A and B are shown apart, each in its own frame.
Chain A
Amino acid sequence: QQQVKQSPQSLIVQKGGISIINCAYENTAFDYFPWYQQFPGKGPALLIAIRPDVSEKKEGRFTISFNKSAKQFSLHIMDSQPGDSATYFCAASMGGSYIPTFGRGTSLIVHP
């Protein structure tokens, strides 16, 4: 059973558009929600993360929106650029646990 469901599996956006990737989780004990970005041939790297005490976190063009009651969180990439083309993973974990659960990933392609 998937504890973190990520959608869509793939996404194509035009340059300058908004990319939106969604994740839903089951376990209400999760309290840390990071997003990782992975370029081809590289390992994932932390992009941005949020704790459930806030509903939104913004870093540059990247924003996480968090809806605790719906058990959903999403990544918004504003003014998407071809350099943003990568695979994005959402993840969730709970305090004291070192077993993060990853979503299955979203392959984002931004056309110039």
Chain B
Amino acid sequence: EAQVTQNPRYLITVTGKKLTVTCSQNMNHEYMSWYRQDPGLGLRQIYYSMNVEVTDKGDVPEGYKVSRKEKRNFPLILESPSPNQTSLYFCASSLGSNYNEQFFGPGTRLTVL
């Protein structure tokens, strides 16, 4: 089944404790991206990647890191999480730029205490 998977689905952590949210897609998509969803603010793009070893900042990249060492994986790293990073995070992938459908993962709900 074609899908985007994220792990963990739920995470509660404390301020400053490094964490990684994994994202994997099995559709051989070139483009992958991370979004955060907050009430009243919609979906905001954090980082995106156009291919292996090619990443770029989205609208809200502060406090986040990403890497794209393999085509299928695009982990999101929070080196020193803070409470304002409490949010619902989505990974997405697509075949190419702009006119292609984005496939979203099921989401990761992160709480930083």
Contacts of A93 in B (CB 8 A): 98
A97 within 8 A of B: yes
B42 and A100 contacting across the interface, CB-CB below 8 Å: no
A95/B98 in contact, CB under 8 A? yes
Q: Of residues 30 to 57 in A, which have CB atoms within 8 Å of B's CB atoms? A: 32, 34, 36, 41-46, 49, 51
Binds B, one of A12-20, A66-74, A76-84, A101-109: A101-109
Interface size of A as a range: 20 to 34
Does A9 sit within 8 A of B, measured CB to CB? yes
Query: B4, B31, B105: which contacts A98 (Cβ < 8 A)?
Result: B31
Asked whether, in the complex, the Cβ of B98 is within 8 Å of the Cβ of A97, the reply is: yes
* Residue in B31, B42, B97 whose CB lies within 8 Å of A105: B42
Do A42 and B107 form a contact, CB below 8 Å, given A89-B42, A98-B48, A104-B40? yes
Residues of chain B from 98 to 113 with CB closer than 8 A to chain A in the complex:
98-99, 101-107
A34 and B31 CA atoms in complex are apart in Å by 17
CB distance B42 to A43 under 8 Å?
no
CA distance A34 to B101 in the complex (A): 9
Count of A-B contacts judged by CB separation below 8 Å: 60
Bin the interface of chain B by size: 20 to 34
Cβ–Cβ < 8 Å partners of A99 in chain B? 45, 48, 58-59
Is A60 at the interface (CB under 8 A from chain B)?
A: no
A94 at the interface (CB under 8 A from B): yes
- Cβ–Cβ contact A98 & B50, under 8 A: yes
Residues of chain B within 8 A (CB-CB) of A98 are 31, 33, 48, 50, 97-98
- In the complex, the answer to whether A96 meets B107 with C-beta atoms within 8 Å is no
Given the complex, which residues of A lie within 8 Å of B43, measured CB to CB?
Answer: 44, 89, 102, 105
Binary interface profile of B, 74-113, with partner A (CB < 8 Å = 1, else 0)? 0000000000000000101000011101111111000000
Q: B50-76: which residues lie under 8 A (CB-CB) from chain A?
A: 50, 58-59
- 5 example contacts (A-B, Cβ-Cβ < 8 A) are as follows A46-B102, A94-B98, A99-B59, A102-B43, A104-B42
Q: When A and B form their complex, which 9 residue pairs have the shortest distance between CB atoms, in order from nearest?
A: A43-B104, A104-B42, A102-B43, A46-B101, A98-B97, A102-B42, A105-B42, A44-B104, A43-B90
